[in-house]
Amino acid sequence: MQIFKPSKTNDSLFQKYETMLKEAMEAVHKRLHFSPFPEMPSPKEYGETAEADQKQKFESQLHGKFDRLKQSSDSWLTSDEESPYTSKALSLSYPTLSSADAYIKAAEAASQDWKRTDAKTRAGILIESLHRLKNCFFELAFATMHTTGQSYLMSFQASGPHAADRALEAIALGYQELTRFPDHVSWEKSAGKFTLKLEKYGTNIGRGLALAIGCSTFPTWNTMPGLYASLIAGNAVIVKPHPKSIYPIAVVVGIIQEVLSENGFDPNLVMLAVDKANQPITKQLAEHSAVRIIDFTGSNSFGTYIENLPNKIVFTEKAGINSVIIDSVDDLEAVAKNIAFSISLYSGQMCTAPQNIYVPESGIQTKDGVKSLADVEAAIVEATKGLVEHPKAGFAVAGAIQSTDTVERIKKAAGLGGKVLLESKPIANPEFAEARTQSPIIIEIADDKRDLIKGEMFGPIVFVVPTKDTAESIELAAASAREHGAISCSAYTKDPAVMEKIALQMAEAGTPVSFNLTGMVYVNQNAGFTDFHVTGGNPAGNASFTNPEFVVKRFIRVQSRVEG
């Protein structure tokens, strides 16, 4: 007897990827390095002609219809997408439906078979989609580069292998939670002369329709974890990308739809809902009673609106103010170079990029003796200049500025009232003369101007904050994280007691700390299967990639009983 019968099952793809899924589940628990998707765009790993072929595919896709989606549609919409490297419109058109209701009706209808199938079938199909996506990593790189402004290598890594890692992580954790308890138990209990017997049958039920709201700077890396977590849990998903960054996630959605269709599922299970900045549909979708789950990445104001919607299960990543605490170091030059890279990487447009650097006004201890505040500032300034002015490294690290609003914010920062230690200037890009670029601006903030550091200044805007001592540095960084949110913190100290104090106080403020980074690991970086991205413990976000809560809140467990 079987009460809950799957509507459709197919173990073939699960068997194909079962070993990988087990390895991924083990990696989730051991928190060690794991990735089946090589992060370097090498011909050996991806094919001799893959880069050239996919670059041509990207170029031929521009100024045309993105016709790789299998979803229902009744018209085409030309997007707002514009390349930060050329300042030219991509002129891409995407299929659309006439209303939020139309998307919701199509997705709900498509969910019927999916929500009644088993975890094995879902896992196999979803991992297969990631492996097909691997064949599009170069196209994703060019699409991401020309919508977000990320450099080519960063675009390849973040939108390709690193995003796929995070998606696989969500699948693995979701599959584990879905299969944690048996589907059938023969239960017995002695009751004197009698034995009570029940057959107990359990099943997992998805919470309902999910909405994934994307951001302009990381259109796949930030969207795919929630997208795949909702799918493995049995929910249909409407993907609502940022109007300026649609192309990369459209590739992902198209491949998922292709694999779903091949395996007998309605491709409308995952729908891309595009809009324009002057004709948004996000609120119509988010407020609809049928939408039960929302994943959001973006601004504090809109994120807070999403968090306050009634009767929704919400996972958010918003803005944060990330700190650097400098107490004592061995090699100041090495520290300065690491910080310079972190503030310059993707021109500070990462949610993990440092903003406020706290340094005792009396200076810091180094292996060469005490270095003054001015010495520390000079080291960071010189390291930053050396990086961004490097003819080969500067433009490759900094990329381009995604939004003109960010450029204006950088230009206005010089007039905020602080002491400008390093002016922001355009960074020459030998390949793209029209690239929208700006180097970091570094500003020392006096005591009476500290209100300036209490909000996120998105982009390459950095404040050096002189403090009475390291204790005040820690206090300010922790308070900022508690009150305004933080996603990362970098700290430098040679004193174990100080290290413990920083780690504890920042942990209590819901913020992880990276200590004494001087090599090729940077505070900006978060790796799937080992690093939890965002803690959910401060205003920067209420969720974490990827802990159990990120998946278990997307489904419920229901158990029925039969006597006999």
d(CA 483, CA 479): 6
What pLDDT, on a 0 to 100 scale, did the predictor assign at position 30? Answer: 95
Q: Which residue ranges of the chain lie beneath pLDDT 70? A: 1
356-360 vs 291-297, strand pairing mode: unpaired
| Backbone phi, psi, residue 388, to 5° | -70, -25
Contact (CB, 8 A) for 270 and 133: no
What pLDDT, on a 0 to 100 scale, did the predictor assign at position 358? Answer: 98
Contact (CB, 8 A) for 216 and 148: yes
If we measure between CA atoms, which residue out of 112, 117, 91 comes closest to residue 8?
Answer: 117
Q: What DSSP string runs through 117-180? A: S-HHHHHHHHHHHHHHHGGGHHHHHHHHHHHH---HHHHHHHHTHHHHHHHHHHHHHHHHHHTS
d(CA 239, CA 223): 8
If we measure between CA atoms, which residue out of 211, 173, 360 comes closest to residue 289?
Answer: 211
- Please, which residues bridge with residue 210 across strands? 237, 293
- Please, which residues bridge with residue 328 across strands? 365
DSSP 371: E
Query: What is the SS3 assignment for 241-300?
Result: CCCCCCHHHHHHHHHHHHHHHHCCCCHHHEEECCCECCECCHHHHHHCCCEEEEEEECCH
What CATH code is assigned to 12-278+543-563?
3.40.605.10
What pLDDT, on a 0 to 100 scale, did the predictor assign at position 8? Answer: 79
User: Kind and range of the H or E element at 374?
Assistant: helix 373-388
If we measure between CA atoms, which residue out of 127, 142, 153, 168 comes closest to residue 26?
Answer: 168
- Please, which residues bridge with residue 464 across strands? 357, 444
Q: Side chain identity at 543, as an amino acid letter? A: A
What pLDDT, on a 0 to 100 scale, did the predictor assign at position 338? Answer: 98
Contact (CB, 8 A) for 20 and 129: no
Contact (CB, 8 A) for 357 and 339: yes
What pLDDT, on a 0 to 100 scale, did the predictor assign at position 452? Answer: 81
Who's near 110: CB < 8 A, 6+ residues apart? Answer: 236, 265, 266, 267, 268, 269
Contact (CB, 8 A) for 258 and 268: no
Predicted structure pTM score: 0.96
Q: What is the residue extent of each domain of the chain?
A: 12-278+543-563, 323-515
Q: What DSSP string runs through 9-31? A: ---HHHHHHHHHHHHHHHHHHH-
Rounded alpha-carbon distances, angstroms, from residue 225 to 16, 169, 277: 22, 8, 25
What pLDDT, on a 0 to 100 scale, did the predictor assign at position 1? Answer: 62
Neighbours of 311 (CB within 10 A): 7
- Please, which residues bridge with residue 516 across strands? none
If we measure between CA atoms, which residue out of 289, 172, 290 comes closest to residue 233?
Answer: 172
What pLDDT, on a 0 to 100 scale, did the predictor assign at position 281? Answer: 97
Fold of 323-515: Aldehyde Dehydrogenase; Chain A, domain 2 (3.40.309)
Neighbours of 277 (CB within 10 A): 10
